[in-house]
Structure 1
Amino acid sequence: MIVGTAGHIDHGKTTLVKALTGVDTDRLKEEKARGITIELGFAYARFADDAVTGFIDVPGHERFIHTMLAGAGGIDYALLVVAADDGIKPQTREHLAILDLLGIDRGLVAITKADLAAPARLDSLMVEIGGMLASTHLRDAEILPVSSATGEGIKPLRDRLAAAERATVAASAEGCFRLAVDRSFTLPGKGTVITGTVLSGSVGLGDRVMISPSGLVARVRSIHAQNQQAERGFAGQRCALNLTGENISKEAVGRGDLVVDPSLHAPTDRIDAELRVLDSEAKAIGDWFPARFHHGSAEAGARIVPLKRPLAPGSRGKVQLVLDRPIAAAFGDRFILRDVSAQRTIGGGRLLDLRAPLRKRRSAERLDLLDAASLSHPGSALAALLDVPPFLVDLVAFARDRVLSEADLQTAIAFAQADTIEAPPARHAISIRRHAEFSDTLQGILGAFHAEHPDLQGIGRERLRLQMTPRLPPPTFLAALRIEQAAGRLVLQGAFVRLPGHEVRLNEREEDLYAKIRPYLMEEQRFRPPRVRDFAEMLGLDEREIRRVLKLCARLGRVDEIRHDHFFIRGTTAEMVEIIKDVAAHAERGEFSAGHFRDRVNNGRKVAIEILEFFDRQGVTIRRGDVRRVNPHRLDLYGESGAGSVPGIV
C-alpha cells in the first residue's frame, strides 16, 4: 500500500511520517533550514506482518502544489493532516479537492498537535472536518487526534494503517508495464536510477523498456521494490529502477516521464476527457480556456475546448484538451487542471480518448463514439464502439491505450461478440452481426455489377471498398476479401473482384486469335512484346480486331495494357513487380531510377518508362522527381507479390 500525505503547510505531515516510520523525509538542505517540505519525501515501514507500507510525503505550501500533484497520482490511501491549533486552511481544502478529483476513496484524517488543543476544540474541529469531507469520496474517513510530540494517537494510527494494509487488494500485474517517474538521480558505480509508482503490469531484471514521451530505450539493471532489492516490481509498488542505455542519464529521464513497455509508447497532445469543474470556480469554462494540465508526475500547458456547451462551476462534461507538448498516458488516467498562474485548482477528471480528432470533434457521430469509449469495462466499451460509426475498432490502439494484455484483449473480444480481421501489423474488430451484413452487402454489390456489366471481368477492388460499410482500410479490406474467397463466396483476380459463377469467355474464333498472339507475349520477348499494329502486319489481320480481342483478354485478367495498344501478359506484369521490388531493395533508401529498371529488363528507355508510368498509375510505385519507391500496400495487385502470409479471421 502507498500512503500519501496531504494538508496545509506546517501542519506536521513530515513530523507525523517520522513518528510512524522513524524516517525524516525532508532530505534537502533547504528543507532542513526552512523547516518546510519542498520536494517529495519517501519512507517505508512494516505495520502488517511482512507487508511494506510506503509513504509519499508532499509539500503543503501553495507554491509547491505542482510537486504535491506529482506524488498524489500513485497513492492508494490518503493521510489528510489538519493541525489542531490552526484548523482547516486553504491548502487543506485544495489538497482534499485534488484527492477527490483523483478518485481516492480510502484514507483517514489525522488532527496533529492534539496536545496543544483542549477537548472542546478537538470536538469542534472534528465536526468541521466531517462537514468538509461530506461531499467527497472520503466522506466516511475516520478522524483521529494525534500528537507526534507526546505519542498520543500514534499507536491507534499505526493500527488503522495496518488494517488498511491488510485490506488492500494487490493490484493486478496483468497488462503492460507503466511507471510514473517522480525522481531521477545518479549513483556512483550504478548510473541512472529513477523512482516512481508502478501504475500497471510488472517489470523484471533485464527487461527492455522505453522512456515516454522521449522514446529513449533502456534496459533494467536492478530493481528495488518497496525499498527492498527485488527481481521484479509489480503494479501498486514504489520502485527504483537502475536503467542503462544509449543517452540514458538523470537529465534525459525525469519527473513527468513514464517508463513503459515499448508497445505502449504512443505520445499524444490532443485528448478527449471527462472534466468536473470545482464549485469554487468563478465563471464557466468556455472555448480555448487556458490551464495547467497535471497527469501523474507530468505537467503541461493546456487549452480546454468543451464539446457540448461551456461548463459552469460545479458541473461536469466532456472536453477536448489540447496540450502544448506530448505526454504519455492511458485511458482512464486521472488528471488535474489548475489556472495558468498556479493559484488555484480548476477541476479534474479522467482521460477518455487519447487520439482525439482536430475536426468534427462536436459532431453527433463523434459524441456517440466518445460515449461508447467512456465505458471502463473493456468488453462493454468494445461492444459499444462496434455499434456506432465507423463500426470498426483498431485493436492495436484499443489494447495499447487501455494497457490490456493479449489475454485481456481476447476476453474483451469474446465479451463483445466480435470477429477480428488480421492484416499484420493491423488488427481490426467488427461485430459478428455486422460482419455477416458486410458479407451479404458484398454479394449484392457484385451481383448488381455483373448484371450491369456482364462483359467485364469484375469490379475494381478500390471501387468496391468505397461502397462498403464499414469502410475498411485497404489492407484490412483485402484481408476481409480473402476471408470471403476462402469461404467460396467470391474470387479475387488481381485488382478485380467477382462472384465465383461469373466468367467472361472468348468465343472460339477469339480464342484462336489469342492463341496466335500469345507466343509473342512470352519468353524472350515478354519485356518488349509487339504492339497491335505489329501483330496486324505479322498476322495479316485487321488491326481493330486484334485490339478488340486483346482488350477483352485484359478484362479477363490474361493481359495488361501497359500503354495504348501495348499489351503484356499478366504473368510478365507480376514478374516485373518482383523485379521492381528487388531493384528497390538493393537501392539506397529504396529509391531507384528508370535506368536501374531498364537494365534489369534489358529494354529500351522509352518502353521502360512507359512500364513504370503504368505502375505509377496503379499505385505500385510512387514517383518523386526522377526516382521511384515501392508502395508495399499495392504489391498484391498482380498476384501475391508482397502479401506474405494470408491474413484471416480469428
Structure 2
Amino acid sequence: MLAQQESCSEDEIQVPRVDVKNLSPLSPEVICKQATINLGTIGHVAHGKSTVVKAISGVTTVRFTNELVKNITIKLGYANAKIYKCENEACPRPGCYRSYRSDKENRPPCERPGCRSRMKLVRHVSFVDCPGHDILMATMLNGAAVMDAALLLIAGNEDCPQPQTSEHLAAVEIMKLEHIIILQNKVDLIKESQAVEQQKSISAFVKGTIAESSPIVPISAQLKYNIDAVNEYIATRIPIPIRDFTSAPRLILIRSFDVNKPGAEVEALKGGVAGGSILTGVLNLGMDVEIRPGVVTKDSTGRTHCTPIRSHVFSLHAENNSLDFAVPGGLIGVGTKIDPTLCRADRLVGQVLGAAGTLPEIYTELELSLFLLRRLLGVKTDSSTKKQTKVGKLDKGELLLVNIGSTSTGGRVLSVRGDLAKIQLTAPACADIGEKVALSRRIEKHWRLIGEFQASEAAKCWGTLQRGTVLEVD
C-alpha cells in the first residue's frame, strides 16, 4: 500500500490547487490514481481471503517473514485493484469485467478473443485483507474500522458456519456495513450437489443478518474461476459511499513504518510514513498536519501526558501511484518528516492524522451506551458447552479489549448502570462523541467479541487518569 516516499525539502513541495467542490469519487483525476472504496475480506482461517485478493488485484498481501513461514495472515494486508468494463455492449457479461493492478493504464484493450474494443475504468478499490485466526480478532476489528463493504469468504469444502465466519459477520454488522458479497470458495474441491447443499446452509446462516440479501457467488480463487463475476458484483452491487470532500481532512492510521534501510547515510534518511484511509476532507501536499494522541509519556508522579506529533505532508502515495492530493476512500501512504523511529513497526496504529488544530479530544475514560450480543461468537458449540455461549453482563473491575476506530487498548469497567457503562482506557484514544466502539471479553485465553457500544459522554475537565479526564496536551 505504502510506497517509499521521495526525498524532498519543504521548499521543493509544489502545493496543488484543488477545487474540492468539483471532485467526486468517480472524477477521472481521482479514480485513475487512487482507490475510492475500501473492501474488506473476512471469514474463517484458510477459507481463501488472501488468495481472492491476489486473484483480483494480482498483489500478494502476505509479505512478512513470519506470515510466509506459517502461510497465514497475521497483520492486515493491503492491495489496490482497478476494475474495468468493456465499452462494447455486445461483449457478454460477466467476461466483460476485468481487474488489474492499480498502475494499469486507463483504457486498456479488451482481452476477450475477437473483441477489439477498449475497456472503461468503473471502480478503483482497496482491499483490507483481515486475518482469520481467532487470536487475531482485534486486528480484524482494526481493519473493519475503514471498510465500506466486505467480501465474506466461506470455503465450500467445510461446514457453514465456522467459528470466525460468525464472529467476523457480527463484527461488520456492528460497524454497520450494508453491502456484503458472499464468496463460496474452493468449489473446485467438491461436487456440484455438495455446492448446492452448502449454498442452502449459507442462506440459512445469514438469514436475519445484515447479509441476508447478499449474493452468493461460487468461485475458485486458486484457479480464478468466476473472478470476473466477482468483479461485476463489486462494480454493480457495491455503490460508492457518499464522501465529504469539504470538511477538515481526517485520516485513520492502520499502518506506519520506517522506510530507511539499515546503514543509510544521515543525508539520505527519510521521515516516517503513516498509512490509512481518509474519512473526510482532502489531504494536499505541503499541508500542516497533526497526529493524535501522539507521544504518550508518564511523569514521576504517574500522571500521563500526550504530545501530538506535528509535521507537513511531503508525499502522498497509493501503492505505486504518486498523488498530488488524496481524497476519502482507499488506502493512502502519507510521507512526512516525522522521526522514523516513531513510525517504526506500526507504532502509530490507532492514532488519527488530520489538519492541525481540527482533531477531536483525547480521552482516557468513556461513558458508553451498550448493546450486548445474545450469545458468544467465535467458538464451536455443542450440547456440553451451550450454557457457556450466553454473553453475561459486564462486571465492575472487569478488564476488556476496547476497539475505537483502529485503536485497540485495554479498558477496565468502572461502573455499570442499566445500558450505560463507564470504562477507563489503558491507553488514551482520540475519538469523537458518538463513535462506534467494539468490546471483547477474554474467554478461554482468547478475546471474543461481546457487543457494540456508542460513546455518549466523556469527562472534559483536566485531572488525573483515574478520574477519567481528557489528557492535557503538551
TM-score, scaled to structure 1 = 0.51
1:53 and 2:125 correspond: yes
Alignment of 1:518-533 (within 5 A): none
Q: Tell me what 2:365 maps to.
A: 270
Q: Find 1:289's aligned residue among 398, 404, 409.
A: 398
Q: CA deviation at 1:258?
A: 1.3
CA contact 1:211–1:253 (8 Å) conserved in 2? no
The verdict on how the C-alpha distance between 1:72 and 1:204 changes in structure 2, with shifts beyond 3 A counting, is same
Matched letter for residue 125 of structure 2: T
Q: Tell me what 2:208 maps to.
A: 135
Q: CA deviation at 1:42?
A: 0.8
Q: Tell me what 1:323 maps to.
A: 425
Q: 2:394 aligns to what SS in structure 1?
A: coil
Q: Tell me what 2:291 maps to.
A: 211
Q: Distance in 1 between matches of 2:66 and 2:209?
A: 35
Q: Distance in 1 between matches of 2:372 and 2:408?
A: 19
Q: Distance in 1 between matches of 2:340 and 2:129?
A: 31
Q: 1:339 aligns to what SS in structure 2?
A: strand
How big is each residue's C-alpha offset from its partner over 1:277-307, in whole Å with a ceiling of 9 and x where there is no partner? 1111432224343211012221111123565
Q: CA deviation at 1:246?
A: 6.1
Q: Distance in 1 between matches of 2:458 and 2:204?
A: 37
Q: CA deviation at 1:329?
A: 0.8
Q: CA deviation at 1:356?
A: 6.8
Q: Tell me what 1:4 maps to.
A: 40
Q: Find 1:201's aligned residue among 281, 284, 290.
A: 281
Q: Tell me what 1:122 maps to.
A: 195
How big is each residue's C-alpha offset from its partner over 1:436-471, in whole Å with a ceiling of 9 and x where there is no partner? xxxxxxxxxxxxxxxxxxxxxxxxxxxxxxxxxxxx
CA contact 2:289–2:353 (8 Å) conserved in 1? yes
How big is each residue's C-alpha offset from its partner over 1:488-514, in whole Å with a ceiling of 9 and x where there is no partner? xxxxxxxxxxxxxxxxxxxxxxxxxxx
Q: Find 2:77's aligned residue among 19, 41, 44.
A: 41
Query: How many residue pairs were aligned?
Result: 352
Q: Distance in 1 between matches of 2:429 and 2:55?
A: 37
1:346 and 2:447 correspond: no
Q: Tell me what 2:333 maps to.
A: 240
Q: Tell me what 1:254 maps to.
A: 348
Q: Distance in 2 between matches of 1:216 and 1:326?
A: 15
The verdict on how the C-alpha distance between 1:116 and 1:141 changes in structure 2, with shifts beyond 3 A counting, is same
Alignment of 1:85-100 (within 5 A): 85-87=157-159, 88-100=161-173
Alignment of 1:211-230 (within 5 A): 211-214=291-294, 215-225=308-318, 228-230=321-323
1:169 and 2:273 correspond: no
Q: Distance in 2 between matches of 1:139 and 1:349?
A: 23
Q: Find 2:57's aligned residue among 12, 18, 21.
A: 21
Q: Distance in 1 between matches of 2:249 and 2:366?
A: 21
Structural RMSD (CA) = 2.4
Q: Tell me what 1:380 maps to.
A: none
Matched letter for residue 399 of structure 2: P
1:78 and 2:150 correspond: yes
How big is each residue's C-alpha offset from its partner over 1:574-614, in whole Å with a ceiling of 9 and x where there is no partner? xxxxxxxxxxxxxxxxxxxxxxxxxxxxxxxxxxxxxxxxx
The verdict on how the C-alpha distance between 1:137 and 1:318 changes in structure 2, with shifts beyond 3 A counting, is farther
CA contact 2:257–2:340 (8 Å) conserved in 1? no
Q: CA deviation at 1:128?
A: 2.0
CA contact 1:271–1:356 (8 Å) conserved in 2? no
Q: Tell me what 2:271 maps to.
A: 191
Runs of 4+ in 1 over 6 A off after TM superposition: none
* Stretches of structure 2 lacking an aligned partner (at least 5 in a row): 1-36, 85-120, 261-267, 295-307, 376-389, 463-469
Q: CA deviation at 1:247?
A: 7.8
Sequence identity, in percent? 26
Q: 1:184 aligns to what SS in structure 2?
A: strand
* Stretches of structure 1 lacking an aligned partner (at least 5 in a row): 310-316, 359-396, 398-650
CA contact 1:218–1:246 (8 Å) conserved in 2? no
Q: Distance in 1 between matches of 2:250 and 2:416?
A: 30
Q: CA deviation at 1:201?
A: 1.9
Q: Tell me what 1:484 maps to.
A: none
CA contact 1:52–1:226 (8 Å) conserved in 2? no
Which deviates the most, 229-238 or 93-102? Answer: 229-238
Q: Distance in 2 between matches of 1:148 and 1:327?
A: 38
The verdict on how the C-alpha distance between 1:83 and 1:355 changes in structure 2, with shifts beyond 3 A counting, is same
Alignment of 1:153-552 (within 5 A): 153-164=226-237, 167-188=239-260, 189=268, 190-214=270-294, 215-225=308-318, 228-245=321-338, 249-251=342-344, 253-263=347-357, 264-280=359-375, 281-304=390-413, 308-309=417-418, 317-340=419-442, 341-355=445-459
Q: CA deviation at 1:123?
A: 2.1
Q: Distance in 1 between matches of 2:461 and 2:190?
A: 56
Q: Tell me what 1:106 maps to.
A: 179
Matched letter for residue 110 of structure 1: L
Q: 1:349 aligns to what SS in structure 2?
A: strand
Q: Tell me what 2:300 maps to.
A: none
CA contact 1:277–1:346 (8 Å) conserved in 2? yes
The verdict on how the C-alpha distance between 1:232 and 1:137 changes in structure 2, with shifts beyond 3 A counting, is same
CA contact 1:83–1:112 (8 Å) conserved in 2? yes
Higher relative contact order (CA 8 A, sep 6+): 2
Matched letter for residue 323 of structure 1: L
Alignment of 1:560-575 (within 5 A): none
Q: CA deviation at 1:170?
A: 4.1
Q: CA deviation at 1:66?
A: 1.6
CA contact 1:216–1:248 (8 Å) conserved in 2? no
Q: Distance in 2 between matches of 1:352 and 1:127?
A: 41
Q: Distance in 2 between matches of 1:42 and 1:231?
A: 21
Q: Distance in 1 between matches of 2:391 and 2:369?
A: 20
Q: 1:176 aligns to what SS in structure 2?
A: coil
Q: CA deviation at 1:339?
A: 1.2
Q: 1:244 aligns to what SS in structure 2?
A: coil
Q: CA deviation at 1:2?
A: 0.6
TM-score, scaled to structure 2 = 0.69
CA contact 1:179–1:196 (8 Å) conserved in 2? yes
Q: 1:156 aligns to what SS in structure 2?
A: helix
Q: CA deviation at 1:51?
A: 3.5
CA contact 1:111–1:143 (8 Å) conserved in 2? yes
Q: Tell me what 2:221 maps to.
A: 148
Q: Distance in 2 between matches of 1:186 and 1:290?
A: 33
